[in-house]
Structure 1
Amino acid sequence: MPSVHSARVFQMACAALLALALSSMSAGATSRIKDLANIEGVRQNQLIGYGLVVGLNGTGDTLNNIPFTKQSLQAMLERMGVNIRGATIR
């Protein structure tokens, strides 16, 4: 009977090793925190805009006398994929 008992112990040891090997393998279904949770204040769509301030006639800046206005408008349009380098802006 000792050979039957050792065969049974060997089978149990092999089954335990197989179970251990299978449990240590990654399941392949990983999840990211950002896919499972919503963070308050975070938006999916990106908002882009350009402000316009109005006031007294003739008191504001124009594209001709203030170069920063033209540069900031060009930079915003280029970030949106519109190339206006070399074009006349009015």
Structure 2
Amino acid sequence: MKAIWNHTVIAESDDIVTLEGNHYFPETSLKREFTTFSNHRTSCVWKGQAHYLSLFVNGEMNPDAVWFYPEPSEAAAEIKGRVAFWKGVQVTD
């Protein structure tokens, strides 16, 4: 699968975990040259605290478009070390 934003592949992998309709890519598949810091955080009752990264591609910023759980709950252990996308990032086969 590929994660694409602003006509650019920002992650690509065959090792995908799907949880609640979101496709989680291995963190190592994320092309870090397109990410930048975000201090945004959210909490999920059963997964834990999500951290975010922003995307910066071809001169355009997409704030908080990548999220991950650095220390997910035991119930969500399968997404540890993985990232997911939203805010216009297309995930395709």
The TM-score with structure 1 as length reference comes to 0.17
Higher helix share: 1
- Bigger radius of gyration: 1
Higher strand share: 2
The TM-score with structure 2 as length reference comes to 0.17
**Higher relative contact order (CA closer than 8 Å, sequence separation 6+):** 2
